[in-house]
Structure 1
Amino acid sequence: MAISRIHPLFLLLLLRAFALLPTQAAARGGHDLPDDGDHGSISRNLLQDKPHITEEMARGYMSNAELEIAVHAFGSRCSNISRIYSIGKSVNDFPLWVIEISDKPRQREAEPAFKFIGNVHGDEPVGREVLMHLANWLCDNYRKDPLATLIVENMHLHILPTMNPDGFTLKWRGNANNIDLNRDFPDQFFSVNNDINYRQPETRAIMNWIKQEHFTASASLHGGALVANYPWDGTKDTGKRYYGCPDDKTFQHMASVYSQSHYNMSLSKEFEGGITNGAFWYPIYGGMQDWNYIHGGCFELTLEISDTKWPKAAELPVIWEHNRMSMLNLLASLIKSGVHGRIFAADTGRPIPGSVTIKGIDSKVRASRTFGDYHRIIVPGEKYDVMASMEGFRPKSTRIVLEQGAVNLDFILDPDGADVLGNDYGCRCGNDMMFHVQEAHIWLYLLILCVLLTLYLVFKRKTASRLLAYRYSPRRPVAV
């Protein structure tokens, strides 16, 4: 049968069948990492797509049911600073529970928001255990420890202990459909993952979550190495080399905050300073990290927090202690550094969802719709030209010097005065009937209107018949 005569539905089903075939994958997902000998033991650990995980190895880890109980128990015990909610369900219908921690967890505030995601890969369960340790530590130490109090009172922290509960139960990398969730997101270079109909429910849940919440930054927890990874994760030509995103210096700073606070991550012999650019390590496509940055303005790190994917449960408290200060310092850095503020409209005084850009950095951070608040992460110790803009308003910029503390900077934007009247009010005027009214001319128009009205009243009786005929003659509507 000729190729041209093959039914399109048959081709679609054939491509889908190939996509569901099991594939060998690296720890962060995406293209395979060739075992060229340059990666040593890390390469061997990461390429175990389906390692044999015995019941003995899994003993001591919370099951999905036990994790669900632990999440709700936390919500009851720490109800004054927490909210429990679900962002969706897995393939096998298990809820994806989130813990929100804040001094006002049920309210929206003009504060930065951060999310931690664990267990993206089913065979990397350390993150789900460590994140429950983090939640409980914050609850136990709120108003006792300065760092815990700073975080709870000045940001909204969202914790998703498991993104892949089905993969955890099956003790393999992918979800119940055997799809690697860390290469299921839309990719900036290749459109292979851009069909929404084939995207996994866990992936869709994360994407919808980003639309609902205004996240400043985030991190996903993985296992199989010990390093803080940052964008970009892939390259245009799929080559393995350093490929930095516009905020490369900022991401290096964030990764270093984590690595330098870790017990031994910064001492790595494999990765200088315990950090790495994703594409330089090995390229992947369809990753969650790059998608967050591009589509959510959310600065995300991929944190490999355990050399072993499935360490003995007795080692989990030690792994938590090794990562505790890293996680706390990363969260605190959003509050204690960067530039923060709100954007207002000069004519109404109301907050507006404008954008903030930094001169020389080709990326933007959007302000929230509710409060017009923005939170821009930048490297301390430098000068920056910060600009706020929004369609229909004149942009404004100012220079700041960011030292070690945060800078608070509000913008009040003036309307640009070039809006077309009537378009927002249903006026179907032709081009010849559209008026571009400048703000400075408004009083002149009002004066002319008053004069015409006075003349109309004076001569009303003498010209009644003529004016009556004019009033009811057909005219085009004009918004004023």
Structure 2
Amino acid sequence: MKLIFALVFISLCLSFLPSLIARGAYHSSLPSGFTDYSYANSSRRLLEYKQAQSSVVDITRGYMTNSDLERAMKAFVQKCSNISRIYSIGKSVYGFPLWVIEISDKPGVEEAEPAFKFIGNVHGDEPVGRELLMLLSNWICDNHMKNPLARLIVENVHLHILPSMNPDGFSLRRRGNANNIDLNRDFPDQFFPVNDDVGARQPETRAIMSWLRKIQFTASASLHGGALVANYPWDGTEDKRRNYYACPDDQTFRYMASVYSRSHRNMYLSKEFQGGITNGAAWYPIYGAMQDWNYIHGYCFELTLEISDNKWPNAKELPILWEYNKMSMLNLVASLVKAGVHGRIFSSDTGRPLPGSIIIKGINHTVKAGRVFADYHRPLVQGERYEVIASAPQYKSKTTHIWLGEEAMTVDFILDPEVTTEGNNLLRSVCDCTYGSKSRFAFVEFLWRDHLEVYFVLIVILTSLCFLLKRRLKSNLMKHRQSPKRSVMI
């Protein structure tokens, strides 16, 4: 009897052994992202794994590889050498150059014009943006001599296009970069001390931050996938709760997002997002986002554009996605010229450009003027009244009120230097010299009595010179501004 029980026990153990061995072996070789099934379904698992590998190959068919993209960008610049150039802002973790195309009538030459940047493929598994940005570049090249909108952009904007911020993530078919870091969570955050260590940031992130220190962008947009909506700051909240968290330029951002949404074939009709736009924190809060950092530290108004419900659609859908997004992309860039307030800041004593700053009363956000031409470009909502304040260190601020209609407005400021107390004392000491009160009076009387005619002539000459100088300065200012519909000098 004992022998029978022993045989039964051994047979039961042997019956479980294959299952135990197979489950352990399966766990050790399970590809990332796959679910653990029972041993009885091992043949099904193998089939699904092969199908998954096949589907990865299928979805990449028709999309440019990183090498294809690099060749396409260089070919584009050769084709449109008169209005474009190519340059790199850095390299990815794997050493792939982060190539940028600049489109302008004077590429590489700094002008008193707004700059706009498009960034695609922030997330490696969202490649639609890189394809559409190359289509946009080629469309502008082919149409800038015959299409008014394309001509407006080329002649009045410096457009910079980075098709792929995350080439490594694209080649790996995953969201993060080669270090598996989400690049849209890798920027310094305003609410929480994350990503404050410069050395710990990803090379792609550092490249973007360095880029903004070299070029002063007025506005920007990054292209994503997985939804259909134009997203604007803030992306996070102080308490990490999901709710609408407005930045100081909330109205302006809503306007910019609506420019994109309304120009889109169906984004504006969204049932999930009213008007096809959303505040980032109201959708879901994130931290270390690129658009918030752009607005705070780069003085750049950036949108996050979700342009495709499917993160990686079949390449056959790319022409349709291009047609749906084409006018939105063009109108967003053109809005830098067609709307807002623009101008330059000058010094009254030298007549030279004065790199100051612009503040709109009631909006707690400063816009810096350019370093070379002291030009500023301030996006604002149309149909509103604004109080515009120009300031610069050691100069008196100036204020003007404007009504911003349907067209852009140009307001140039001429600031006067501040007269310090030390300057007044020095002037007074020079005039006082060593005369007593009676001597000073006698000296002034002598000058006034015997040289009255000379003073009169000098006054007339100085008045005429000031008048001519002001006319010349105003003429030079008008030449620098090519596109303003309305121009005011303060």
| Cα separation, 2, equivalents of 1:150 and 1:442 | 53
Describe how 1:112-123 pairs up with structure 2 within 5 A. Answer: 112-123=114-125
Q: Show the counterpart of 1:218.
A: 220
| Cα separation, 1, equivalents of 2:286 and 2:302 | 15
Q: Show the counterpart of 2:479.
A: none
Q: Choose which of 227, 230, 246 in structure 2 pairs with 1:228.
A: 230
Structure 1 residue ranges without an equivalent (≥5): 1-22, 25-50, 419-434, 452-480
Describe how 1:53-452 pairs up with structure 2 within 5 A. Answer: 54-418=56-420, 436-438=422-424, 443-447=427-431
Q: TM-score, normalised by structure 1?
A: 0.78
Q: Secondary structure at the match of 2:190?
A: coil
| Cα separation, 1, equivalents of 2:326 and 2:280 | 24
Deviation per CA, 1:80-109, whole angstroms, max 9, x where unpaired? 000100000000000000000000112100
Q: TM-score, normalised by structure 2?
A: 0.77
One-letter amino acid matched to 2:303: L
What is the root-mean-square deviation in Å for CA atoms of aligned residues? 1.7
| Cα separation, 1, equivalents of 2:324 and 2:255 | 20
Structure 2 residue ranges without an equivalent (≥5): 1-31, 34-51, 436-490
| Cα separation, 2, equivalents of 1:148 and 1:311 | 28
Deviation per CA, 1:422-474, whole angstroms, max 9, x where unpaired? xxxxxxxxxxxxx8213xx66544445699xxxxxxxxxxxxxxxxxxxxxxx
Deviation per CA, 1:223-272, whole angstroms, max 9, x where unpaired? 00000000000000000000010000000000000000000000111000
Whose Rg is larger? Answer: 2
Deviation per CA, 1:55-84, whole angstroms, max 9, x where unpaired? 011101000000000000011100000010
| Cα separation, 2, equivalents of 1:301 and 1:106 | 25
| Cα separation, 1, equivalents of 2:120 and 2:270 | 23
Closer, same or farther: CA 100–436 of 1 in aligned 2, 3 Å: same
One-letter amino acid matched to 1:436: E
Q: Secondary structure at the match of 2:194?
A: helix
| Cα separation, 2, equivalents of 1:304 and 1:443 | 63
One-letter amino acid matched to 2:422: H
| Cα separation, 1, equivalents of 2:428 and 2:193 | 55
| Cα separation, 1, equivalents of 2:389 and 2:285 | 33
| Cα separation, 2, equivalents of 1:442 and 1:134 | 61
CA shift at 1:206, angstroms? 0.1
Percent pairwise identity: 68
- Report runs of 4+ in structure 1 exceeding 2 Å deviation: 441-451
| Cα separation, 1, equivalents of 2:416 and 2:429 | 21
Q: Secondary structure at the match of 1:54?
A: helix
| Cα separation, 1, equivalents of 2:433 and 2:205 | 59
One-letter amino acid matched to 2:262: Q
| Cα separation, 2, equivalents of 1:102 and 1:66 | 24
Q: Show the counterpart of 1:32.
A: none
Count matched residues.
Answer: 386
| Cα separation, 2, equivalents of 1:321 and 1:416 | 55
Q: Secondary structure at the match of 1:162?
A: coil
One-letter amino acid matched to 2:157: M
One-letter amino acid matched to 1:62: M
One-letter amino acid matched to 1:154: N
Q: Secondary structure at the match of 1:361?
A: coil
